[in-house]
Amino acid sequence: MSIAPPSSEYITRTVKIALEEDVGTGDLTAQLIPADRVSKATVITREDATLCGRAWFDEVFRQIDPKVQVTWKAADGDRVRANQLLCELSGPSRSLLTGERTALNFLQCLSAVATETSRYVETLNGTQCRVLDTRKTIPGLRLAQKYAVRCAGGTNHRIGLFDAILVKENHIAAAGSIAAAVTEARKVNSKVMVEVEVENLDELRQALAAKVDRILIDNFSNEDMKTAVRITRSHENKGIELEASGNMSLETLRSVAETGVDYISVGGLTKHVRAVDLSMRFA
């Protein structure tokens, strides 16, 4: 699998900010080590995971000291097992120590997103439904987290407020109706996806009549979702997609997918991040 990460400019910028936070004016503790000392190190995972974040890990050491060499034994998107070797490093000891925490922070965080996404994707195996991420991301790391979702087989929803239109309850109230909101949305940008969030079957029918691209059915019961699917599939405006959301979990995911919806959006993929346990040790 080969999935392109965000641009090198984005990766450079996010790493620069992270290093400014951690290193600041210099690593005082690393100065305990002689400047000319060279070391080797390894990174392993202490638990099963889906790896993600190599480009950020590499960029940390590139910015600190280009003399550090990193040799990877696994790729982004690979399933790795507890105690598996992920990479080997060599270079100035001070540089390895200075970059250790920041590099691992990126790798742990993005691998966590990929690992959680993998669980959701596996749960949907055999269905036509796909898992979507949301905008509930760590500020400043949205593109990184959405890349991690893709590495694990998940699907990105809109990146931000600029590349799709999602009409929610307050937009509808301000515009006056679903039809009015969608009409204005098409005027704003006729080239992007227009999606409307609905809370009941009557609003679903209004959204179908408005010829939206996708309908977000929020907090529907499974029975109401089945009804929504039946109504949508038989409607004269063909091809409108259905996305389910609202307190989705691994335990409920499969039954929701089996109602026939096209997508299930899960904020927890990027919001409820528990870092993968990684360890860097000097040889």
* Continuous segment of H or E residues that includes residue 182: helix 178-188
Q: What angle do CA 156, 112, 100 make, to 5 degrees?
A: 120
Of the candidates 81, 59, 74, 73, the residue with the CA atom closest to the CA atom of residue 14: 59
Catalytic residue among 76, 195, 203, 218: 218
Which is catalytic among the residues 40, 101, 135, 226?
101
Q: What phi and psi, each to the nearest 5 degrees, are found at residue 131?
A: -90, 135
Q: Give yes or no: 73 in active site.
A: no
Backbone angles phi, psi at 235, to 5 degrees: -75, 150
Q: Quick check: is 40 catalytic? A: no
Mark whether 136 is an active-site residue: yes
Catalytic residue among 62, 135, 168, 254: 168
Distance linking the first and last C-alpha atoms of the chain: 31
Q: Which of 40, 119, 135, 136 is catalytic?
A: 136
Q: Which of 197, 203, 243, 262 is catalytic?
A: 197
Asked about 168 being catalytic, the answer comes back as: yes
Q: What angle do CA 260, 261, 266 make, to 5 degrees?
A: 135
Q: Does the active-site annotation cover 218? A: yes
- Which active-site residues does the annotation give? 101, 136, 168, 197, 218
